Structure 1
Amino acid sequence: MWFKNLYIFAFTKPFTHSEEDLEKALHEHVFARCGSTELSRFGWSNALGKHGESLLHYTNGCFFLNARKEEKMLPASVIKEKLEEKVEALQHEHSRKATKKEKEQFKEDITFELLPRAFSRISDTQGYVCPEKNIIVINSSSRGKAEDFLALLRKCLGSLPVTSFVPEAGAETTMTSWLLEQTLPERFTIGFEGELKAMGDDGAVLRCKNQDLLSDEILAHLGENGEKQVVKIAFDWDQTLSCVLADDLSVKRVKFHDSVYEQNEDIPTDDMIVKIDADLTLMTGEVNRFIEDMLAQFELATNSYLED
């Protein structure tokens, strides 16, 4: 249950739902497996996975939720092949080409025919709501999946006034200054991975791995004589975790230090719910502390496109 990626959103109004009310609302959209002719299903599953039975788990002032999605896997190449067969058959039988509408109907029929035999892929997206910090944190490397999570929660509650964090000057400006001025915030240590990008949609991109980002070689790409800015940067925070921060303030590849895990080593594992609860308490405490420190480094505006 330790989060590996963080998409962070802020509530524009206080989150006032009680544990009882929230769990009741989640039951309106419980996950169920796809029917034989359905392409996908999306809903809430056990918050603690196989170790729990509740859709909601409350600990350390945070509500934990787990959104589960099932998708039927239909290879595009198979559909294309069968579609071509149907089009050729129609042309041979009626001596004419298939219309656009006929092709669309053929494709729909083929999909309907193949769905009962298709393999399924099931994926989970975890997240937690922290009313005290006024944030919701989603464990996903994909913004699309994070927004799907929000949309499902909004559907349950009827309203979910949230917003993303957007630095007024652009996160890339701040991250670039960290390298150029070599004045990192306290508790932050630059890692050996990053991505530099020139201005414009077609701007050149330089990806670095196992590279000293403070070297003259890298710094030459930045500043007055350089054309690039930092859009991703790896760093270590407070001897607690390492991660990669992107210019949209998403946090990827979070790895907690062994010293953090060791704090719960003495907790017995014969009751997994107790062990998971202790891990979640520890994780949320450190993640919330990190988020507060990380966001404090940027002058933030709000991006209201997610607001209800």
Structure 2
Amino acid sequence: MWFKNLYIFAFTRPFTQTEEELETALQEHVFAPCGKTELARFGWASAIGKHGNRLLHHANGCYLLSARKEEKILPASVVKEALEEKVEQLEQEHSRKATKKEKEQFKEDITFALLPRAFSRISDTQGYICPEKNIIVVNTSSRGKAEDFLALLRKCLGSLPVTSFVPDAGAETTMTSWLLEQTLPERFTIGFEGELKAMGDDGAVLRCKNQDLLSDEILAHLGEKGEKQVVKIAFDWDQTLSCVLADDLSVKRVKFHDSVYEQNEDIPNDDMMVKIDADFTLMTGEVNRFIEDMLAQFELATNSYLED
């Protein structure tokens, strides 16, 4: 329920689906376990896990969704060993090299034979839609998983007009100025972790942990005399949460302060639906507030639609 990572996408057109319409659309791609010979399955699961069956949870004007993926685990070394045995057997029996097509067929047959005995790995990716703020927020540290989440939703809805937030000047330029000019507002406090990178694909990278980012030692790498720019930076926001912000505006390792959790401590744990509603309302409220404030530092807004 409490998101630990944030990939933020903006709607380019108003999101107009009602709760009932969205729930019906999600039913078209409900998660089902892999069959014996299937490598993977991907679909929508209960939005609130074991506490409910609905694919959608609605509170605070936001829709919570959960995409589930099952993947069969076939160690590459096992497949490789079996393939080498098949190829060796063919070459000994026919006194010739196996063709590329034969090797591909062997590999396909081996995979098909091993799949019923393979272990499964199941992972859930949660996200929420906030029509009022024009955003979708996906709880993952992986850009690929965020894109998979959006692709599944797009299958259900037919189209999904969303885009990433991209600052005109480049996020790394703004984040570098935060250190050089110390221009962040009072709600932001620079943390003790960051990553600096020189221009170019092969540019030098400096990763800092437990380091004062405003020290002369770090600032010497930036600005006119330095060659690097900030591509990741840790900070604390409004005595509410801490996180690490990357130059693609993804937010990693979100940790809410105890004072936030304490706001719902008086709700009995045995009244689970009330607790879930309260936590989701509190979490989305604080995350939306943070996103709006964070994007404002890049002169971006969540309350206006972007161009396609």
Q: TM-score, normalised by structure 1?
A: 0.97
Alignment of 1:67-86 (within 5 A): 67-86=67-86
**Partner residue in 2 for 1:34:** 34
Identify the range of structure 1 (258-267 vs 272-281) with the bigger mean alpha-carbon deviation.
272-281
SS in 1 for 2:141: coil
**Partner residue in 2 for 1:266:** 266
Displacement after TM superposition at 1:183 (Å): 2.0
Amino acid at match of 1:124: D
SS in 1 for 2:166: strand
Displacement after TM superposition at 1:301 (Å): 10
Structure 1, unmatched stretches of 5+, are none
Displacement after TM superposition at 1:299 (Å): 3.4
Are positions 1:236 and 2:210 aligned together? no
Q: Cα RMSD (Å) of the superposition?
A: 1.3
Q: TM-score, normalised by structure 2?
A: 0.97
**Partner residue in 2 for 1:46:** 46
Amino acid at match of 2:84: E
Alignment of 1:275-286 (within 5 A): 275-286=275-286
Q: Quick check: 1:44–1:68 contact (8 Å CA) kept in 2?
A: yes
Amino acid at match of 2:274: V
Q: Residues of 2 paired with 1:28 and 1:40: CA distance?
A: 17
Displacement after TM superposition at 1:141 (Å): 0.2
Amino acid at match of 2:137: V
Query: Number of aligned pairs?
Result: 304
Amino acid at match of 1:207: R
**Partner residue in 2 for 1:210:** 210
Q: Residues of 1 paired with 2:170 and 2:144: CA distance?
A: 21
Q: Residues of 1 paired with 2:223 and 2:198: CA distance?
A: 11
Q: Residues of 2 paired with 1:184 and 1:285: CA distance?
A: 22
Displacement after TM superposition at 1:184 (Å): 1.6
Displacement after TM superposition at 1:300 (Å): 4.3
Q: Quick check: 2:245–2:251 contact (8 Å CA) kept in 1?
A: yes
Q: Residues of 2 paired with 1:56 and 1:50: CA distance?
A: 13
Displacement after TM superposition at 1:52 (Å): 1.0
Q: Residues of 2 paired with 1:145 and 1:190: CA distance?
A: 29
Structure 2, unmatched stretches of 5+, are none
Displacement after TM superposition at 1:185 (Å): 2.3
**Partner residue in 2 for 1:20:** 20
Alignment of 1:1-308 (within 5 A): 1-300=1-300
Q: Quick check: 2:180–2:219 contact (8 Å CA) kept in 1?
A: yes
Q: Quick check: 1:25–1:156 contact (8 Å CA) kept in 2?
A: yes
